[in-house]
Structure 1
Amino acid sequence: MSDTQAQFSVLKQTADPKVVDAIEQLVAQGGDHELNRINVIDFSKRHDLDEERSISAFLHSARLGLFDLGWNVLCPGCGGVLGAHSTLKALKPDDYHCALCACGYKPNVDDQVEVSFTVNPRVRRIAAHDPDTLPVWEYYKQMYWSSGVDFTEESVATLANEVTLETRDLPRGETTTILLQLPQQFIIVFEPITHAALFIDVQGEPVGEPQELSIAYTNEPAPTKTVNLRPGPLNLTLKNQASTRALPSIFIAAEALHHLIGKRKPFLTAKRMLSNQTFRDVFKADNLNIDQRLQITSLTFLFTDLKGSTALYERVGDLAAFDLVRAHFHALLEIISSEKGAVVKTIGDAVMATFIRPEHAIVAGLRMRAAMDKLNEQRGTTDLIVKIGIHEGPCLAVMLNERQDYFGQTVNIAARVQSLSTAQEIHITGPVLDAPAVAELLEQRAIRPIQKQAALRGIADKMVVYEIP
């Protein structure tokens, strides 16, 4: 048995065998481009697999060394990869600049950082492991644009034949001159490796004599500039002074280009990964540096606490109480994971969990309440009463006590909302209730939230909260 076969055998012990079979088939039979920066969401859709099980399987495969995990900072405008990192710790706190869009962006983990998987070269060597050998359009497709840009062979052909005036594969140290016939259009001269661009605004009366323009590519980032030229001939001189090859391409910035790069498909975001239980369990060391602060614009927090746990220990004794509390934790953690959430930490008899979407947290809360009723019925007791609070909003992902954690007022409010419960009520806030999927869910289950005004400890103003009876 080869090392790779042995790794897949181990993988089947920790991940869904159906997903593992699909991954193993991809490694054996997939084209090179299919094994580079794999979009797990798209992979699960094409193979009719559960998304969460697919994510978990790829994470375990990365832990075994079958795949390499990648964190790519994307341009929200064109979908280009502005920074490719092997670990989340490598994300820079400053702006990532997109020359093609002439904009700067701070890395937003909600939807600007994709998580992808590339086959490890020891398992199978593919062309993307040597990106300098990729032809120009394969470089764009596999290295520059993210897995969320929906490029087909047809769209790549359209890009090459209808949107592009010229392209060159320019070795380092070399110079080339291109004679162009400039149309009266807005032109972009873009280079994807050094990430440099020049805009040419072509207007006015046509000229007969060739115009002259020179561009030099270096290792240093340069601001995107705009020059004005007239329709007609242009001698464009391109000098590659960088330490790598260059792939300058001359695009017509018309509707066809925007349409091609505007076609998107869902991808695995860093926010979703940070709220994935398998990632938190398997890649604890790969989360964040102690001084990193990643801003998240929207995350849903669920806090639970076991009512009267101190009295429970006194009433039934340490051994029986410990068994009850352990059973309660087992039920809660299984529900959180199955509803696409992740446990951030447990504090005494309390749980702090995160969910990407508020409706997942609501379903988890309702299931938790039902699970406690079932445990009480099985044990002939009424001791397990869980108080639950849910809030959604912005926060910071940070490292605290060697654990990836969250910080901010959203976290504080979620914890305080949980403390409002006196029995098995679930308390939620306005942002949670206002989510369309939550309103639809509550209506389907004929649940009518009860509005309250609540004073929360440490929060200056009273808040409107809602009790789920």
Structure 2
Amino acid sequence: MAADVIRVEREERFEVPREALWSLVTDTDRLNREVGLPPVRFSFLPNEWGGSTMQAETRIAGLTLRYREEPYRWVRPGEFSVRRVFRSGPVAELVLGMRFEPDGPGATRAVAYTDATPMNFVAGPLTRTVAGSAVNGLLGACRSFEAFLRGSAPTAYPRHSARPPADAERLGRAMAALTGRGVDAGLAAHLTELITEAPVEDVVNIRPFALADRWGRARQEVLQACLLGVRARLLELRWRVLCPACRGAGDPFPRLSDMASQEAHCPSCDIRFGPEFDRSVEVCFSVAPEVRPVQTGEATYCIGGPGAAPHVVAQWPLAGEEERVDSLALPPGRYTLRSPQGGSVEIELRDDAPAGDVTVTLRQHERRGRIDLCPGPRLPTRARWRLRSALPGPAAVLRLETPGWMADVATAAQVTSLQAFRDAFGSEVLSPGVDLAVRQIAILFSDLRGSTLLYRTRGDAPSYAAVRDHFQFLRGTLGAHGGGVVKTIGDAVMAAFPDADEALAAALEVQRLAAADSHPFVIKLGLHAGPALAVNANGVLDYFGQTVNLASRFQAQSVGGDVVVAESLAEDPRVTARIAPLRQERFSLSLPGTDEPALLIRLWPQKRDAGGG
């Protein structure tokens, strides 16, 4: 006869907003370390229908505990729980979770609970102690988080912040070098506090965009400060490949050339994918070991909590024929329902959608899983969701995701397009023979009109000096808009931007400044945006493909003082707004190998006349 389930449940009120408390508690890797749990070794066994089963092993009080950890269940920011099934130790099964409810303005009532099943009757008292200790640990961590959020504690993680300590002398030298390179004192102070006080996990995978959002600074400013920090020997540059399904990261690479494989594997989702330069290759930073001697391979305490997937609104593990029911109230907008076992479905939540229950079922379909959705892809923002899996085998997983999962990721395409990166890290290239897809990149080509005459009339040395000054002018102007020069080809320049609207803004500014400053040359510019391949070409990080070819052809149509782009670029509403007041000339260009001409726009940086076309 099986032992009875032991339920322990306690609640407390905290004088902090629910969302703020949720964000700290659900960062479960740090939470588990803070409450004193030991590190865990995880392994994954692929499942027949997709995804994997997570196996874990840890040691507590001299005992080795082995268990199966099911995927976390959560609905942000209301509740999360996790179920662990043990193969050894006094506890046979443990469900641990928390609920959060608003309790007046700026306050939260938190409930921590465990459902623990002893391995046998003899283990009952010890199991009750384990369950009570787990609940007390969660609420104790919430008290620490409350103190931090209310400003009465310097850190949310007092047990392991500032350990190991930073080398004050080396930190001082590095910060002096950083400010000497133009980083302002306020941002330098933020970086100093991060390096000296933050927990280890915050300084081995530093995400510059996340820091910028937290500090209220411009993202490009913080990113450039981090790049300068590498030159000042404060930080080290790291490259990581992110899983497009769960956002999990593999081990970081110290150099881009170390990314030798063109196929990555996520053991948790059990999927293989080709890394994409503008989506799944991330640039992050780590504190330099001589400044703070942390180990980049720090122990792992948890990998599946809600904090690791901030883009996931809700996640449900679904065992065969089990139905889960949750009431959701979400902002209108586009979302994705995704399952390692059933693919994905795009949905839209609307305030004006008909009211009623939403039913989601994972079914078998031609030896694969499939997500069936009722009533359809347009759903009400407030509804009761019924979720069920009809797939055999271990529990399936269903996630409801927002589209902004890349919001705080500095991608390789963004960073390598920066002029500051090109200038300081020109040796960072892919390995020979490795090319990575880029879904969207803007390529700008420039050339000079009249350079041959200049060389003939002024001579080689003065003309070369003028061309060199022109290149510097382009680097500065393009760099101010987040772009960078990829290479020069004679008098011509090829530049790259992660954003087409910023590329167009840079091109128009080049022409305005050249006209206003009596530039010695007439500049011809052509711009195009689309997919490309990032490649190693003669030791330079370069781009290849149809987008590059078309940008070059568009530049050849420039007459000087203008910018030639494809009409399709104006499908971006930001581009539409930017070009609306400008002088425009529309024309077509026949392209080799196609019957359809390219529809182009010649843009002049001057505004239209009152009656102009």
- The normalised TM-score by structure 2 is 0.55
Aligned partner of 2:277 in structure 1 is 109
Give how far 1:108 is off: 1.0
1:34-53 aligned at under 5 Å gives the runs 34-53=202-221
Q: Distance in 2 between matches of 1:468 and 1:263?
A: 35
Aligned partner of 2:571 in structure 1 is 434
Q: Distance in 2 between matches of 1:418 and 1:262?
A: 34
Aligned partner of 1:9 in structure 2 is 176
1:157-196 aligned at under 5 Å gives the runs 184=322
Q: Distance in 2 between matches of 1:260 and 1:448?
A: 39
Give how far 1:356 is off: 0.7
Three-state SS of the structure 2 residue aligned to 1:281 is helix
Q: Is the 8 A contact 1:182 1:202 kept in 2?
A: no
Aligned partner of 2:437 in structure 1 is 295
Aligned partner of 1:351 in structure 2 is 493
Q: Is the 8 A contact 1:71 1:114 kept in 2?
A: yes
Aligned partner of 1:93 in structure 2 is 261
Aligned partner of 2:416 in structure 1 is 274
Are residue 131 (structure 1) and residue 268 (structure 2) matched?
no
1:215-254 aligned at under 5 Å gives the runs 227-228=392-393, 253=397
Q: Is the 8 A contact 2:417 2:483 kept in 1?
A: yes
Residue in structure 2 matching 1:387, options 524, 527, 531: 524
Give how far 1:53 is off: 2.4
Amino acid at match of 1:464: L
Residue in structure 1 matching 2:472, options 330, 341, 348: 330
CA distance 1:383–1:96, shift in 2 (3 Å): closer
More deviation, 84-93/405-414: 84-93
Give how far 1:124 is off: 2.0
Q: Is the 8 A contact 1:150 1:265 kept in 2?
A: no
Aligned partner of 2:287 in structure 1 is 119
- The normalised TM-score by structure 1 is 0.71
CA distance 1:294–1:460, shift in 2 (3 Å): farther
Give how far 1:104 is off: 2.2
Amino acid at match of 2:506: A
CA distance 1:371–1:91, shift in 2 (3 Å): same
Post-superposition CA distance 1:265-312 (Å, at most 9, x none): 421011112212222222222221122111112111111111010112
Q: Distance in 2 between matches of 1:185 and 1:35?
A: 42
CA distance 1:264–1:88, shift in 2 (3 Å): closer
Q: Is the 8 A contact 1:302 1:361 kept in 2?
A: yes
Aligned partner of 1:212 in structure 2 is none
CA distance 1:141–1:269, shift in 2 (3 Å): farther
Q: Distance in 1 between matches of 2:473 and 2:405?
A: 41
Q: Is the 8 A contact 1:7 1:64 kept in 2?
A: yes
Amino acid at match of 1:274: T
Q: Is the 8 A contact 2:204 2:285 kept in 1?
A: yes
CA distance 1:383–1:125, shift in 2 (3 Å): closer
Give how far 1:352 is off: 0.8
Q: Distance in 2 between matches of 1:263 and 1:274?
A: 21
Post-superposition CA distance 1:238-290 (Å, at most 9, x none): xxxxxxxxxxxxx88466xx469997642101111221222222222222112
Report how many residues are paired.
376
Are residue 400 (structure 1) and residue 533 (structure 2) matched?
no
Q: Distance in 2 between matches of 1:71 and 1:64?
A: 19
Q: Distance in 2 between matches of 1:73 and 1:131?
A: 18
CA distance 1:24–1:183, shift in 2 (3 Å): farther
CA distance 1:457–1:122, shift in 2 (3 Å): same
Three-state SS of the structure 2 residue aligned to 1:288 is coil
CA distance 1:265–1:418, shift in 2 (3 Å): closer
Q: Distance in 1 between matches of 2:206 and 2:392?
A: 38
Aligned partner of 2:223 in structure 1 is 55
Amino acid at match of 1:432: L
Q: Distance in 2 between matches of 1:252 and 1:267?
A: 28
- Unmatched runs of 5 consecutive residues or more in structure 2: 1-167, 325-339, 343-360, 364-390, 605-613
Give how far 1:15 is off: 4.2
Q: Distance in 1 between matches of 2:546 and 2:600?
A: 16
Post-superposition CA distance 1:52-84 (Å, at most 9, x none): 222122122224432232222112222112453
Three-state SS of the structure 1 residue aligned to 2:564 is strand
Aligned partner of 1:413 in structure 2 is 550
Give how far 1:321 is off: 3.4
Three-state SS of the structure 2 residue aligned to 1:449 is strand
Give how far 1:114 is off: 1.5
Three-state SS of the structure 2 residue aligned to 1:465 is strand
CA distance 1:90–1:318, shift in 2 (3 Å): closer
Q: Is the 8 A contact 1:452 1:465 kept in 2?
A: yes
Superposed CA RMSD in Å reads: 3.5
Q: Is the 8 A contact 1:328 1:372 kept in 2?
A: no
Post-superposition CA distance 1:17-45 (Å, at most 9, x none): 34333211211222333223111111112
Give how far 1:367 is off: 0.8
CA distance 1:411–1:43, shift in 2 (3 Å): same
Q: Distance in 2 between matches of 1:262 and 1:78?
A: 13
More deviation, 24-33/95-104: 95-104
Post-superposition CA distance 1:106-131 (Å, at most 9, x none): 111111121111223332244x6352
Three-state SS of the structure 1 residue aligned to 2:277 is coil
Q: Distance in 2 between matches of 1:423 and 1:108?
A: 35
CA distance 1:314–1:456, shift in 2 (3 Å): farther
Amino acid at match of 2:416: L
Give how far 1:90 is off: 2.5
More deviation, 96-105/51-60: 96-105
Q: Distance in 1 between matches of 2:405 and 2:396?
A: 18
Aligned partner of 1:178 in structure 2 is none
Give how far 1:460 is off: 7.4
Q: Which has the higher strand share?
A: 2
Aligned partner of 1:175 in structure 2 is none
Q: Is the 8 A contact 1:15 1:60 kept in 2?
A: no
Post-superposition CA distance 1:210-251 (Å, at most 9, x none): xxxxxxxxxxxxxxxx8537xxxxxxxxxxxxxxxxxxxxx8
CA distance 1:455–1:119, shift in 2 (3 Å): same
Q: Which has the higher helix share?
A: 1
CA distance 1:442–1:407, shift in 2 (3 Å): same
Q: Is the 8 A contact 1:91 1:107 kept in 2?
A: no
Aligned partner of 1:447 in structure 2 is 582
Q: Distance in 1 between matches of 2:398 and 2:588?
A: 54
Amino acid at match of 1:2: E
Q: Distance in 2 between matches of 1:288 and 1:254?
A: 36
